[in-house]
Chains A and B, each alone.
Chain A
Amino acid sequence: MTKEELKDKVLNLSQGMLTYSDSGVFDLMFEVKPENLTKAAVLLRDHEELRFDFMNNITGVDTGEHFEVVYSLASLSNKTRLDFKVVLPYEGAKLESLCEVWKAANWHEREIWELYGIDFTGHPNLTRFLLPDDWDQGHPMRKDWDAPDFVRMPEL
């Protein structure tokens, strides 16, 4: 399946849940509204022509204007790959957990919860993960968070 065919297929099957985004440089990138996340994920995993059964990665991104959560998926049987992302505002950033869809999502979501402060509803275990148990200094991967002795490198 070529990229164009896959793009058309996803756009047709999702009936507007997934929209194409041109920010992906190499693989296809789609955008999903937060309220459609679980439905879109289940469609991508279970539809027999898509079969995205393998979750590669989830990345939290702080763009400086808002949060983005980028999901990378692959299909082992069709040998295809795509990404989709959800855009979230800083205030009350909240998403449905996809642990039930792909078990691999569990740890990735826990990490994003801890480092960005994005809440995942329905996640079984949102507890301290990479940071020390007694950590109380906020969410370090946010752009407005700097370590106390931090020196910003000058722009070249």
Chain B
Amino acid sequence: MIIIDSKLCKGCDICIATCPKNVYSKSDKVNTKNVYLPFPEHEEGCTKCGLCELSCPDQAIYVEKEVE
């Protein structure tokens, strides 16, 4: 499960460029700062590598990993 914190996201789209599986795309929803938020469109393709979590400059992405 991928959660994007709409309060922190500034809409730079680096998550869209970084994801090796092209999970993210731009939505037409805006947050309180009129930023177009990304959303995980193809979440079934996510391999939970955590690259978007690491690359996000605003610490806005959380990827839930399976806990054993």
A complexed with B: no
Interface set of B (CB-CB < 8 Å, partner A): none
